[in-house]
Amino acid sequence: MKDGTGTLLTLALQFSLLSFLAIGGAITALPEMHRQAVDVYHWMTSTQFTQLVAIAQAAPGPNVLIVTLIGQQVAGIPGALVATVCMCGPACAVAFQTVRAFHHFKESRWAVAIRAGLIPVSVGLVGATALIVARSADQGWGALLITAATFAITHWTRISPLWALGAGSLIGLVGLL
Amino acid sequence: MTEHVVEQPPTIVVPTTTDLFLGFFKIAISGFGGVLAWARRIIVQERKWMTADEFNELFALCQFLPGPNIVNFSLIYGARIRGPAGAAAAVLGLMGPPTVLMIVLGSLYSRYGALPQSRGALTGLAAAAAGLLISTAVSMAEPLPRKGIGNLLIAAVAFIAVGVLQWPLLGVLAVLVPLSIARAWRRA
């Protein structure tokens, strides 16, 4: 019981902090979530983490819901709720206050510089997320081919990525991987 | 209900609290693999709550505020239109139903995730998800070189530090964000 409360507190603290580091979307905080869940707290293996990311990507809803899945694996339904509320609450409250203030100086040199300066950092972080997921997802040539095909379909055609996600899991389901 | 016709043809509709809940609910459940595209389609084209320009402006703002940007968006827009009740309705519509769905999926994963068939399916799903993420990263990176090679360099450093070396995010951001903003400040 004491252990359970301790875990919930850890989840609350980690995700509250993480929410402030998620610049340019929740997805940019994924490498840090991976580091903490796998390397620091040993809540799950890298493969399990990647599978949760895949489920969150395939399911409808905002990307941030990956934290719901992580919280649930760590501490059940209370863990899911704590992780979700903490990932959204504190940072959103700050964002809300900032917008009110920001309205007056949104064209100022500072505002432009902050906006322009954050973009390259968040691009690098999304790239890092892709690398971490690709590295622990790809367990052979078959998986690598699925990754490459999904990239090609998503990037160069207007076909919905859902088809690629569905095809990928079907190929795995029938045992071809 | 009166509708105010703005100078341009698109008529802006002011949603009620219930409309806010239902609209953001629809965005959430339509939004496979991220919700931005659906948010734009539903808010601008289908419900006409905002013009495309208003949407872009508010979204750009949310994108560089801390936290999940679509949640920021729903909170700020809901509050702007209908005060605290509107903010609550929008956020609950967006987050409530998908959270419940995630909990259900998570329990299924805990129970059946280790079965050989599910392991295979999950491996295939994860491999596809990796491809989807690479595509997101590439689309985001494509406009960077046009704004100077330095931006590409900063993105590369963030990528290597966090992705390859797996350094803690806080430390990396503490160095890179001020540096990148200072660069942008000099050029602004």
- Inspect the interface and report whether the beta carbons of A146 and B67 lie closer than 8 Å: no
Are A81 and B99 within 8 A, CB to CB? yes
B182 shares contact with chain A (CB less than 8 Å): yes
Q: Do B188 and A116 touch (CB under 8 A)?
A: yes
Q: Which B positions 16-45 lie with beta carbon below 8 A of chain A?
A: 28-35
Percentage of chain A lying above the pLDDT 70 cut: 94
Each residue of A32-65: pLDDT tens digit? 999 999 999 999 999 999 999 989 888 888 889 9
Paired tokens of B134: 């690479």
Stated length of chain A:
177
**A136-140, A165-169, B5-9, B136-140: range with highest mean pLDDT:** A165-169
Residue that the structure tokens 């920001």 belong to: A102
Task: Give the nearest chain B residue to A91 (CA atoms).
Answer: B67
Model pLDDT, residue A170: 93
The pLDDT-based confidence of A2 (bands split at 50, 70, 90) is very low
Please say whether the beta carbons of B128 and A54 come within 8 A.
Answer: yes
pLDDT at A70 over 90: yes
ipTM score over 0.95, yes or no: no
Q: How far is B47 from chain A (nearest CA, A)?
A: 19
Which tokens sit at A87?
A: 């990932």
Encode chain B (188 residues) as per-residue pLDDT tens digits: 455 545 555 688 899 999 999 999 999 988 765 677 778 888 988 899 998 888 877 877 787 788 888 898 999 899 989 988 999 999 999 999 999 999 999 999 999 988 888 888 888 888 898 898 888 888 878 888 887 788 899 999 999 999 999 899 889 999 999 999 999 888 87
Confidence of residue A105 (pLDDT cuts 50, 70, 90): low
Q: Quick check: A146 and A171 in contact, CB under 8 A?
A: yes
CB contact under 8 A, A55 and B105: yes
Kindly state whether A119 is in contact with chain B, defined as any CB-CB distance less than 8 angstroms.
Answer: yes
Could you tell me if A44 lies within 8 Å of chain B, comparing CB atoms? Answer: no
Q: What does the DSSP 8-state code read for residue A23?
A: T
CB–CB contact B125 A55 (8 Å) = yes
Quote the minimal CA–CA distance from B100 to chain A in Å: 9
- Report how far residue A30's alpha carbon sits from residue A142's, in angstroms, rounded to the nearest whole number: 25
A132-151: buried (b, 16+ CB within 10 Å) or exposed (e) per residue? Answer: bbbebbbeeebbbbbbebbb
Mean pLDDT for the stretch of residues A121-126: 87
| B83 burial level (CB within 10 Å; 0-12, 13-18, 19+) | exposed
Pull the structure tokens for residue A109. 């040199």
Could you tell me the pTM of the whole model? 0.84
